[in-house]
Structure 1
């Protein structure tokens, strides 16, 4: 029986969106969770009083402030070290939990074989409006291609590895993890963009299973100027993705998962994503980034 769930909240960024995210966690209809905020040193003088009031007002809330900025991956790793319970979610500081999030993932983890839960997600823009960009429509197609019309599917092995290599349809801030699996594998230190996918693949390679749910209980905020978008335009994101896919080819081949290795070698949607960004890079005159994007798009 899963009892308390750890909600880890690595924070650095927009204050108003962070407060909306915090409010959404505290408004859960299932109140048995531990909420841990790890502030990576965001420079705003109003925040100490705000966080102090949160801790004083709710004994489920913990707050830590890093003495030095650790960056996204470093702060994720710190969050893992603070996990105390059997299930953990590492939430984005600008995303929104719908009131049924905790109760939805708790139910899925009653199956002891499940290590990862990907619940239903809707995408919101900077203003909180629900919308469906093309990339997210592709994610939905790839997800349904794997699980069909099932409202709750449990998937594992080469099938899900191959699907995620064709296109990563996970929404990391919404994913809940069995803490034992996360602590065993942790985030690979060399990655700042694909660290979540790498963690999922490591768990899948070791035999972990994923529950994929249709129940929508999370809102993922997609920004035009997010860190991953900036890294994409200058080519850094795709250099990191290529290094990760190369590792996957080796790992899958060693395990005899030739279909997954082939999908990793081709990394089709990653290449299409690079190609789709070239007009924006041209319009901004980011010529070094353009060369990297074109190389990634045309060279499997």
Structure 2
């Protein structure tokens, strides 16, 4: 019986998408299915999927462009199995991805989410270690024995200090993610918003350290483009302030304070000032300075 729905919301580079699909097809077992939801209009894509001739693969093309968040929600609507992964269309699963996830859900059957070990790669597919990723790894990610299952305010505080998760690599319990979905008013930080929704609802996160997924970073990504104009940080500020109010009312006073401060987001804005000056000029620089100094 199939348990894992691997969802690929697709838009953009055809070759990278095809590499992502091939990495999924290399998974072992017969308990999974790949569902691709195409939000673009590249002419040869439908024919390529038809040529695969693989009944483990479903392909859909949206009648109209839904955008990032809209396509995420469309993918979740189509999921039918117990667990799902919303993989990035330029990321890669290692052959051991599903084995690592299976072992995690067997060890922690009540867990809502599984964060496996991740390798960060650049546009060329080679390892790519950025300041953001070093900070996630060294400052924000929990360390030490007994940190394999996390939940509640402790996890909310950790993620609001600095979101150390790699969203496209996470395996989610389908019924839980469908309960909330992705907020239509958020275009970049919607993954953290969903996790906070789940934590307030009582969810838990299993952490598996074995590396089994390659997450691709490159400057032309949606989040990077919005960062240089300051749009990402306007959205982030609104989210953190709203979340502080919500968590305070929920009784999570420490998490509320951390969200209101959102220090890592403000520091990140400062690190991008040179790029903003180059790519967006004074408007981008001013927007990020406003975010950084509150």
Q: TM-score, normalised by structure 1?
A: 0.94
Q: Is residue 70 of structure 1 aligned with residue 66 of structure 2?
A: yes
Q: Secondary structure at the match of 1:220?
A: strand
Query: Residues 189 and 235 of structure 2 are in contact (CA less than 8 Å); yes or no, is this contact kept in structure 1?
Result: yes
Corresponding residue number in structure 1 for 2:97: 101
Q: Secondary structure at the match of 1:114?
A: coil
1:140-151 equivalent positions in 2, closer than 5 A:
140-144=137-141, 146=142, 148-150=143-145
Q: Is residue 8 of structure 1 aligned with residue 7 of structure 2?
A: yes
Residue by residue, what CA displacement relative to the aligned partner does 1:170-214 show, whole Å, maximum 9, x if unpaired?
Answer: 111001100010011111111110111111110011110000111
**In 2, Cα distance between the equivalents of 1:152 and 1:163?**
12
Unmatched 5+ stretches in structure 1: none
1:151 positional shift: 8.2
Query: Residues 2 and 30 of structure 2 are in contact (CA less than 8 Å); yes or no, is this contact kept in structure 1?
Result: no
1:92-241 equivalent positions in 2, closer than 5 A:
92-110=88-106, 111-144=108-141, 146=142, 148-150=143-145, 153-241=148-236
1:254 to 237, 249, 253: 249
**In 2, Cα distance between the equivalents of 1:186 and 1:284?**
33
Q: Residues 3 and 44 (structure 1 numbering): CA distance in 2 closer, same or farther, change over 3 Å?
A: closer
1:283 positional shift: 2.8
Corresponding residue number in structure 2 for 1:58: 54
Corresponding residue number in structure 2 for 1:24: 23
Query: Residues 152 and 214 of structure 1 are in contact (CA less than 8 Å); yes or no, is this contact kept in structure 2?
Result: no
Residue by residue, what CA displacement relative to the aligned partner does 1:134-185 show, whole Å, maximum 9, x if unpaired?
Answer: 11011112444x2x23486100011110011111111110011000100111
Q: TM-score, normalised by structure 2?
A: 0.96
**In 1, Cα distance between the equivalents of 2:281 and 2:167?**
29
- More displaced, 13-22 or 282-291? 282-291
RMSD: 1.4
Unmatched 5+ stretches in structure 2: none
Query: Residues 20 and 90 of structure 2 are in contact (CA less than 8 Å); yes or no, is this contact kept in structure 1?
Result: yes
**In 1, Cα distance between the equivalents of 2:186 and 2:176?**
19
**In 2, Cα distance between the equivalents of 1:136 and 1:181?**
28
Q: Between Structure 1 and Structure 2, how many residues are aligned? A: 293
